[in-house]
Amino acid sequence: MFVIIFLLIAIPLVVAREQSVRAVGTLTCHGVPAQYAELQLVSKKVFGGDAFARDVFTDPSGYFQIAGYIDPSTWSTIDARLYIWHKCYEKPYEQSDPCSNWFEIAVPKLYINEGPLAQKTWDMGEIRLEVPKDGQKLDAC
């Protein structure tokens, strides 16, 4: 009985820890900065919904930086996903405002940091939005 109680207390204490993630990059559309595209960083959890969600928009040069943090009280590890909403299409004449394309990118485990401030940053470089992405969808509008 003592062993079961010990395991029920010890396992969550080992699993629960502060973690963080940070990503930077530039979004372009047909060689032009993708201004004011929306990005959201989310950590999916098995139980209890998403751990964190941070929203940012690209600046006039298409640059973004986004970071998130999960505290030990959530009893979960980060499974970080970056969602990107944009109005760039494979063919420029396909513009369909007010609809937005969106896709999801999994943050590599290599860039999941221990502690509340990310020491390693995932530099995604330039992401060309006109190139179709796996799983890309068009928002219902």
How much is the pLDDT for 12?
47
DSSP 107: P
Residue with tokens 């010890």: 10
Q: Which domains does the chain have, with CATH numbers?
A: 17-132 (2.60.40.3330)
Own/partner contacts of 90-97, CB < 8 Å, gap of 24 or more, are 90/130, 90/131, 90/132, 92/30, 96/138, 96/141
Give tens-digit pLDDT for 31-67: 999 999 999 999 876 555 556 778 999 999 999 999 9
Q: Which pLDDT score is estimated for 134?
A: 83
Quote the pLDDT of residue 13: 46
The per-residue pLDDT for 2 is: 56
> What pLDDT digit, counting tens, does each position of 89-131 carry?
877 666 666 678 899 999 999 999 998 889 999 999 999 999 8
